[in-house]
Chain A
Amino acid sequence: MIEIQQVSKQYGESVVVDNVSLSLPAGGVTAIIGPNGAGKSTLLSMVSRLLPMSTGRVLVEGLDVTRADSRELARRLAILRQDNHLPLRLTARDLVAFGRYPHTGGRLTLEDKDHIDRAIAYLNLEPLADRYLDEMSGGQRQRAFVAMVLCQDTRYVLLDEPLNSLDMKHAVAMMGTLRRAADELGKTVVLVLHDINFASTYADRIVAMRAGRIARQGTPAELVRPEVLSELYELPIEVHEIGGRRICVYYRQP
């Protein structure tokens, strides 16, 4: 369980995250949605201790993220941010192997090798495992980073816009992988999504943010409704039920 208690972030006068309290139960896929500048990424960064918060605190399974031992935390919670550009010459397997660092402190054991192989297989990266990251496409690199985060073997996996730079096929594959990670491996996946249809079709819970606050939260059935989304995005959005899934249509306004 991740408990966010009265967390705020402000830069000078401007408040980016405004007194947010939220609890995310363990298990399942939670999507954070909302318009640009709603504070989604900032909130995720604070939960994962990448960014210090101005006020409030965050507990991950009872551990205060700003005070707890960082390595202890790294065995429970993993975060992947959006632009992962590395100026280093590393193979995908090398990168995935770093996921074991919180557990072994850099000395790989045979057990670690199993974890690495499994994470690579989970993302279907076997043919690319020994390829250098700078020789891969953006989508392949993104998969390698997700494999690293899975290899970290944490209960909580936080991802900031993991579908960025992925085409439709790879976006669907990525969401499928994350869904399976939640279902088969019992992980708690929290991700920031821009495509509300992915949130609608894959998430168990949706948290909608707007202007630094939590606007609404609930199941896709509760949130993916025209009146809720239209107000959230300030854009007329139709919701149609197609094959039992709620699909939002907003592309062309009359």
Chain B
Amino acid sequence: MAELAISAPVSGRAPQAWRLWLLGAFALACAIAFMTLGANGQWSFVIPFRGAKLAAMVLVAYAVAVSSVLFQTITHNRILTPAIMGFDALYLLIQAVVVFGFGQAATAASHPVAAFLLEVGAMTAFACLLFRWLFSDAVRSLHLMMLVGIIFGLLFRSLSNFVVRLIDPNEFLVLQDRMFASFNTVRVGLLPIALAAVCAASLLVWRMRRRYDVLALGRDIAVNLGVDYRRTLMLTLVAIAVLVSVSTALVGPVTFFGLLVSNLAYQVMGSDRHRYTVAAAVLLSVIFLVGGQTLLERVLGLNTTVSVVIEFLGGLMFLVLILRRGRR
């Protein structure tokens, strides 16, 4: 770790740039491997089929990574992610309520895009309300926040299970696929609208990109330096809600994935600048998802979904982080 001591804050030609290039090259290699390995059919079939899946995975990887890093920045902690706070469970609950309330006619089967937009809108509103209530008063104990977050996650999951039980069995079938993470059954039909939503959220975040490093210094210092704290927080939260919705809509809930890639990104970069950490987290999550899927599906020939492995690693990371915190 000797090179970490060299810092070049002003010029920006830090060793971090090299690491990013390396990660980028590795991610690209994973994508190429995913597209080509074991493709013994017509290319005209393979390319669109695998391409759509790859696009969905990259989109999910991006959404999870960006939302996790930004969430950790605005809550000033490194253990919580939107998924651990139950945002994805909230999204599932909204989905279940929409199916229950409007029936199958209003959902995926007939108007996937309209249903998606409705769900994202409701999700954003609820997430903002919840967050406002939780974090409006200055600083609270991180442990309290974690506890509340995990309990909320449980609550949302149980509630959506409850709603599911009220639903007509036929409609339940529509929902069932979405309650569990699966990268094999990506909802490809949602890709265009998901891409548009991710672009909109990214644009929102991009406009505030210079504030995040300042925000990471803590509320008091950020306010002192003239960051409009509340506004930045709420807008970022909107972007996070959209990103979480997209990833949950495409593949279902993944609890510990964001935690894994965000914390690996901090470690790998050895810098807390968001231009490095966000980029590294995105590349790492592409490597994990696409590379993991390729490895399991093509090389090992396993039918297990990659989410199981990723959740296992992420869960380990969660434990390690908590234990390390406890010891200090």
Give A contacts to B, CB under 8 Å: 48-50, 69-75, 78-81, 84, 86-91, 93-95, 97-99, 101-102, 105-108, 113, 130, 149, 152
Contact = CB atoms under 8 A, between A and B. Distances in A.
A74 B225 contact: yes
Interface residues of B, number: 26
A70 B226 CA distance: 5
Contacts of A108: 10
B227 A106 contact: no
A70 B229 CA distance: 9
B210 A94 contact: no
26 contacts: A48-B223, A48-B224, A50-B224, A71-B228, A78-B224, A79-B224, A87-B76, A87-B78, A88-B216, A88-B272, A89-B272, A91-B7, A91-B9, A93-B7, A94-B7, A97-B9, A97-B10, A98-B221, A98-B225, A101-B214, A101-B227, A106-B211, A107-B210, A108-B10, A130-B7, A149-B224
Contacts of B211: 106
A70 B213 contact: no
B253 to A, nearest CB: 28
A203 B78 CA distance: 42
Given A49-B223, A94-B9, A152-B224, 6 more contacts: A48-B223, A50-B223, A81-B220, A95-B217, A102-B225, A106-B211
Interface in B284-310: none
Contacts of B217: 86, 88, 95, 98
B184 interface: no
Given A88-B217, A105-B210, A74 B226 contact: yes
A72 B223 CA distance: 12
Contacts of A73: 226
Interface in B207-250: 210-211, 213-214, 216-221, 223-229
B272 A70 contact: no
A139 B211 CA distance: 28
B224 A71 contact: no
A16 B221 CA distance: 23
A99 B226 CA distance: 10
Query: Top 3 A-B pairs ranked by shortest CB distance?
Result: A74-B226, A106-B210, A71-B226
Given A88-B217, A97-B10, A130-B7, A152 B225 contact: yes
Nearest to A107: B210
B214 A113 contact: no
A101 B225 contact: yes
Contacts of A107: 210
Contacts of A90: 272
Nearest to A89: B272
Contacts of B227: 70-71, 101
B24 interface: no
A70 B223 contact: yes
A74 B272 contact: no
Contacts of A48: 223-224
A199 B87 CA distance: 51
Contacts of A91: 7, 9
A69 B229 CA distance: 12
A106 B213 contact: yes
Given A89-B272, A98-B214, A79 B220 contact: yes
A84 B210 CA distance: 22
B270 interface: yes
Contacts of A98: 213-214, 217, 221, 225
Contacts of A93: 7, 9
A129 B94 CA distance: 51
Contacts of B210: 101, 105-107
A75 B226 contact: yes
Contact of A50 (B9, B220, B271): B220
A79 B217 CA distance: 14
Contacts of A86: 217-218
Contacts of A95: 217
A102 B226 contact: yes
Contacts of A79: 220, 224
A99 B228 CA distance: 16
A120 to B, nearest CB: 12
B285 to A, nearest CB: 22
